[in-house]
Amino acid sequence: MKEDFKEFTSRNATIIVAAPHSAEQVAEYWKKEELPMIGVPDKDGNLANLYGQEWKLLKLGRMPALFIIDRQGSLAFAQYGKSMSDIPKNSEMLKVLDGLR
C-alpha cells in the first residue's frame, strides 16, 4: 500500500494499520520504513479481537486481515488471510474503493 498510497488517498481513503507491537516499536518501524499510513499499536490484540483477526502460532502470529469501512461506518469489504502472504493486491482494493463512489 505504501507504493500506491497516493492512489488510495486520491479516493479519499485513510489507511490505518493495526500492528501487534508496542507504541515505541510501531513508531520506530514507521519511521525506519517511511510509511505514510497511520500505524496503530495493538500489542494486546484488542483491535484484532474486535475484528475477528486470527492468531496462528504455527503460521508465525496474526493472520493478515483487511477491511474497508465506508463513510457511513459500514463494513464494505473484509478479507481474512489464510497465510502471511494472503493479502489482496492494491489494484483489487482500489476497485472496491471505486465501487463506493
Q: What domains appear along the chain, each with residue ranges and CATH number?
A: 5-92 (3.40.30.10)
pLDDT tens per residue across span 31-44: 999 999 999 999 99
The sign of the dihedral angle between the CA atoms of 85, 90, 95, 98 is positive
pLDDT tens per residue across span 85-99: 889 999 999 999 999
Nearest by Cα to 13 from 68, 66, 65, 64: 68
Residues forming a β-bridge with 67: 78
Average pLDDT for the chain: 90
Which amino acid, 47? L
> pTM to 2 decimals?
0.82
